[in-house]
Amino acid sequence: MPSTSTSRASGLPHDRFLNRELSWLDFNARVLELAEDDELPLLERVKFLSIFASNLDEFYMVRIAGLKRRHSTGLTVRSVDGLTIREQLELITKRTQDLVHRHADVFLKDVAPRLEDAGIRIVHWEDLADEDTRRLREYFRDQVFPVLTPLAVDPAHPFPYISGLSLNLAVMVRDPDTNVAHFARVKVPNNVPRFVAVGPTDRTATFLPLEDLIAAHLPQLFPGLDVVSHHLFRVTRNADVEVEEDRDEDLLQALERELARRRFGSAVRLEVTESMDPQILEVLLSEMEMQPEDVLHVPGLLDLAALMALYDLDRPELKDDPFVPATHPRLSEGETPKSVFATLREGDVLVHHPYYSFATSVQRFIEQAAADPHVLAIKQTLYRTSGDSPIVNALIDAAEAGKQVVVLVEIKARFDEEANITWARSLEKAGCHVVYGLVGLKTHCKTALVVRREHGVLRRYCHIGTGNYNPKTARIYEDLGILTADPRVGADLTDLFNTLTGYSRQTNYRMLMVAPHGIRTGLIEKIRREARNATEGRSSGIRMKLNSLVDERIIDALYEASAAGVPVELLIRGICALRPGVPGLSESIRVRSIVGRFLEHSRVVSFDNDGDPEWWLGSADLMHRNLDRRVEVLLRVCDETARRELARLFDQAMAPDVRSWQLGGDGDWTRSGERDYQAERLAEVGEHAG
């Protein structure tokens, strides 16, 4: 529990914040707990093992890379919890090593044996029958050998570049004539399946890791030499693109240049098997300019993110029951789709994905607008979308039909930069007006505006959501959105798009809070209003559902509200730097996290406002990057039906017996509850739709 020593500047304890990086690791530990949960279907546990590994990869590529970069410059800045960068890295390394061992143990000692019982096996070369080895030798000869490139390391061959996240074999070979040993590297190709099927994959399936297949055939790669040993390793590199935005330079070209550089980012993590030869490890560290503390020793298989290939097996009895998202009842009459425009003239529609279908709501809104001869213009922001995007196709159709189409494509969306550059060029080619946002800011808001002529009058229809315009992630991410014909929202979005595409400097809106100028100040003002109401004996209360809560000014405002007696309920999926339930600091604040089948992704905040509740939803988490370096939007929800639905959803998620994790003032998360909120929501929507 934090001490009660106080800061002269604020009157609040010095140690009132939790470390954001360690809090993120706690989130990934909650993902790992789902992989450990033997009440979940087996392949769902496999999925969470894969997600844990993928999450950790990105954490190192971005967050740890950033810390190491700052550390290398000699910065002595401390985190909000008082730790130096070196102290943070030491704690992160220890915590990560513990989690990686736990992750490997879950797979090796629990999940893998259960998979074998279910007829799904991962074997090694020495386990194979003669018939299988003969068949796999042919597979190696025809499908693998031609794409392998053994790279020697000697005075004539410099140490090769090791690409980020690639699997590699470090091989020691010896010349039998001279008895001289040599080091070589063989990259495990990423365009060949990681798990090679040994025979048919139907009710049973046996797989051989690709690295095992290659290792068994190393003599073919080094004919005339003796293969002494081989060891698997994997490198993670800094993949955070930093584009220096010059007003006189084309942003697209600048980003493409930085993407090319990203391939050669500095190495930040080296994963090796526990059997790694110390001498080979020393060579790897020296050649890649890494330190011993950068090494993670992993029991068993490296890169368990590849387990997602097993999840894709056709074994429905080992997975959650499938579901089909329901069409929102206001958007159809039986099986017949209704006009979205006619529906919105009757009132707003709150859509809750993936329970309600993205395809028959938001996607249909854009598709109907593209096909409607009365629609004059469509304006939309795109942060991330799918590979074959029906949204982008609809915008292209609209432009080719002569409509005014304006698309803000955020080409700096991390890890989607190349895809978004491709979309931007496709949209431009079709005649869309494509812009890339404001210099120095990422445009993260999820907004769409449709202008339609009706009986000689122009009417505006809008969508503002918490998730990307991506039909694939809309089936696995929990998100919320409002479809509305409210003229005030339409006027606000018109002003916002004029700011994004032109030179407007508007910062005040009717129904929106917009970052970087308005969200932090707007939320703090409303938090303080709740504190005043509590102090004066009026009704008060604050509720927030977020991915992350890190911003110190907002956290301090919440502490002050708690001191005034305001009840504060926080539903935080990921990082939370606030300490709840601390006497004298945050006694009236409780924090819980729900991690489950769907990624809780929506951002919603509400204020009691003396019995006249305000509800806001949008794209912003309460982090520095969202509030200071992004264009984000929060929409005030005024439709009474939508407000009641949001309140009901929050009540359900915060019910005492819902399966969740509770955060203590000491920073520890405790799992509790039995009811599956997401499963109940699925059943409820299915019954309602039926």
Residues serving a catalytic function are 444
Residue among 487, 544, 529 nearest 510 (CA): 487
Residue among 474, 665, 450 nearest 559 (CA): 665
In one letter, which amino acid is 138?
E
The DSSP secondary structure of 49-114, one letter per residue, reads HHHHHHHHHHHIIIIIHHHHHHHHTT--PBPTTS-BHHHHHHHHHHHHHHHHHHHHHIIIIIIHHH
Q: Are strands 433-435 and 404-409 parallel, antiparallel or unpaired?
A: parallel
Going through 261-373 in order, the beta strands assigned E by DSSP cover 267-273, 295-298, 332-333, 336-337, 349-353
Residues 6+ apart with CB under 8 A from 149: 186, 187
* Tokens 């971005």 belong to residue: 62
Task: For residue 559, give the H/E element and its range.
Answer: helix 552-563
Residue among 326, 300, 382 nearest 100 (CA): 300
Burial class (CB within 10 angstroms; exposed 0-12, middle 13-18, buried 19+) of 198: buried
Q: Are strands 589-593 and 568-572 parallel, antiparallel or unpaired?
A: parallel
Alpha-carbon dihedral angle through residues 308, 313, 315, 320, given to the nearest 10 degrees: 30
Residue among 337, 443, 429, 357 nearest 392 (CA): 429
* Tokens 């305001």 belong to residue: 566
Instruction: Compute CA distances 343 → 337, 361, 477, 484, whole Å.
Output: 11, 11, 25, 9
Backbone φ, ψ for residue 540 (5° rounding): -150, 160
In one letter, which amino acid is 39?
E
Backbone φ, ψ for residue 323 (5° rounding): -140, 155
* Tokens 């122009």 belong to residue: 458
What whole-number distance in Å separates Cα of residue 493 and Cα of residue 498?
A: 8
